[in-house]
Amino acid sequence: ETGVTQTPRHLVMGMTNKKSLKCEQHLGHNAMYWYKQSAKKPLELMFVYNFKEQTENNSVPSRFSPECPNSSHLFLHLHTLQPEDSALYLCASSQSVYQETQYFGPGTRLLVL
């Protein structure tokens, strides 16, 4: 079992909808990440949180809004998305940032119509 859970596993939304993705880690880690994985492309890092503080925003459009209320939970709020935002959104956590092993959740497969 991965120790990192994500809900929902699948999401279909219209371009005018507002939805949120949730990630929870049970590993006692201090760093959490959001990644986007489009079809046949490698992972793209979106946001990094370290001890609940956002340390990186990798030029992500403002229609994606992260929230980290504590070290165990991470949200990605979605608003007025575009069809090209359809992808697999992966959450990961690690003991500390970057050069530690990152453990991934199962991902949320998002389809924007």
Partner 1 sequence: EDKVVQSPLSLVVHEGDTVTLNCSYEVTNFRSLLWYKQEKKAPTFLFMLTSSGIEKKSGRLSSILDKKELSSILNITATQTGDSAIYLCAVEGAGAQKLVFGQGTRLTINP
Residues that bind partner 1 (CB under 8 A): 2, 4, 42-45, 48, 56, 58, 92, 98-106
Nearer to partner 1, 48 or 76 (CB): 48
Nearer to partner 1, 78 or 105 (CB): 105
Residue of 62, 56, 16, 61 whose CA lies nearest to 34: 56
Least distance in angstroms from the C-beta of 26 to partner 1: 14
Q: Which residues pair with 18 in a beta bridge?
A: 79
How far is Cα 4 from Cα 34, in angstroms, rounded to an integer?
12
Least distance in angstroms from the C-beta of 13 to partner 1: 25
Least distance in angstroms from the C-beta of 52 to partner 1: 18
With the C-alpha atoms ordered 106, 74, 60, 53, is the resulting torsion angle positive or negative? Answer: negative
Question: At 55, is the secondary structure helix, strand, or coil?
Answer: strand
Nearer to partner 1, 16 or 41 (CB): 41
Nearer to partner 1, 16 or 59 (CB): 59
Could you say which DSSP state residue 99 is in?
Answer: S
